[in-house]
Structure 1
Amino acid sequence: MRITRYAATLGALGLVLAGCSSEAGQQAEEATENAPEVAQDVEFPAGSTMAELAEAGTITVGTKFDQPGFGLANPQGVPEGFDVEVAKIIAGELGIAPEEIEWKETVSANRESFIQNGDVDVVVATYTINDARKQLIDFAGPYYVAGQDIMVATGNPLAIEGPDDLAGKRVCSVEGSTPAQNIRDNYPEAQLTLFDVYSKCADALRNGQVDAVTTDNVILTGLVQGGQGAFELVGNPFTEEPYGIGLAKGDDEFRGFINDTLEQAYEDGSWAAAWDRTAGAITGTEAPEPPAVDRY
């Protein structure tokens, strides 16, 4: 039976941080074997973004390159993870094969500008939907709901159990992220340090430059897995972060197409299969009940 509450998945992430490295190492092989189906003889309304992409035979996707389970570059420089597989599902419905996707490394601070400037067609990059961002771009989805959590050094020497314990502590997050803004707005006594990517936060925690790292629990889980025993997850998520697919403002037709594609993936099992062979393999959790898309 699949887990039917987001909270079940959020809580479980803190309990399964050992023994999954061999499964994570199989992601590339499994992703190839389970590549999403590519639609044939697709037809779309003339002049639509879907028609233009299908005719071009390629799509440019912005995603993270440093987040195990969601978007992590392999030795060949190609990203792998749940976000990547979701993007492949969308591309497949456009008739675009995975090898024809152009992947563009995207960090939290440049996601909106990449979309606005036309550097990418979509962003699938642990991208929390919020009202401020919706003033600049549009979102399809959500396709997953995470929760902000905290990563500390193994043994939790400062006994950090939640955000209220961050007062006076050196806390790392990344520029342009929802978790960083949450700390600024609601926990101003924390001493916030910002980098461009979370891997630098992990290095700072390892070197004793900061006391904690905060972002979404699924991102932190990947960092714990790659930390060789140096880190642990507090495991007490204190927000809900709905992940959406970013696209150009006002392209309602394309947004509707992506939402339709997500709902189809929920129904036919391809979304759950993508989770199971990527983020699920690292966290040891089953795919949760998929969230309802927001057709605003």
Structure 2
Amino acid sequence: MAGSYDGAIIGDRFRLTPAPTLLTRTASIAPIGFSRLRSDARHVRAKDVPPEAAYSLHVALQPTAVNLWIDGRHRLGKAASAGDAFLFDLRCNPVSELDGGFDILRFYISQDSLDELAAERGWRQAVRLETDRLGAPDPVMLGLAHALLDRVERPSERSALFVDHIGLAFHAHLTETYAVVGPPARRATGRLAPWQLRRAIDHMVAHLDGDPTIAQLAIECGLSAGHFARAFRQTAGVTPHQWLMRRRVERARELLLHGSLELALIAAACGFVDQSHFSRVFTRLEGESPGRWRRHHRN
């Protein structure tokens, strides 16, 4: 099972060094995985895929020539463009042949995790994924791929809340776009109860300098990860990750205004990875750098 999302094994399958990989624990059974596959080689034929009850979805980040075999039969040959998506059932030995270099974001989910998250959404039957349009443009998946690029390439700046949120968005898009199921019997909707919102917020504030996950916050509220994430956003108007970033910036403003700590120490006290990460987030939310904000408001 580990080979499905292990960076070294995925890289070897595409004849690369270990592929940068992110894992999310939005499902309790197995993680959802995100890997970047990139090569300048003129020609690469991937190795055979051991059969597994799981799916991978590859999003092209640059144009590349693709030939695909499924269970030994040639299924597709095309010049793929950035944003083209290829959904593979890993039980069927999908093998790619890529020419002219490639840059791909690979999304992975096991059948067990797919079923677990689908049950939380109220689907009436087991989910199966398929498409008759291999290599068709999928702008939603391209957007998710670009959102993940920095996190995949910068291990030190990985936020569990952010990665978990992308995992849930990936699952939602899969079930709405590629799932062979009937419409939902019920959809988990509604808002968090006041005590649930307070408990989630208290947990994030208590771990402001840590890296809480959606699963941990959901347990605090007695909910599944998917239900919690949707209910929190409907209640608070932002995702848990966005709320946490704003609260960290609020705390940083207090320290900038009323203390003399260096920026690196403020970054650490507020849960940012380093001063550079702190400066980028603070500038995005406040419109100016922490140093300039401190000089402006103290004057």
Larger RCO, structure (CA 8 Å, separation 6 or more):
1
Q: Quickly name the TM-score band, shorter chain normalised.
A: under 0.3
Report the TM-score, using the length of structure 1 for normalisation.
0.23
Structure (1 or 2) with the greater helix fraction:
2
Query: TM-score, normalized by length of structure 2?
Result: 0.23
Between structure 1 and structure 2, the one with the greater Rg is: 2
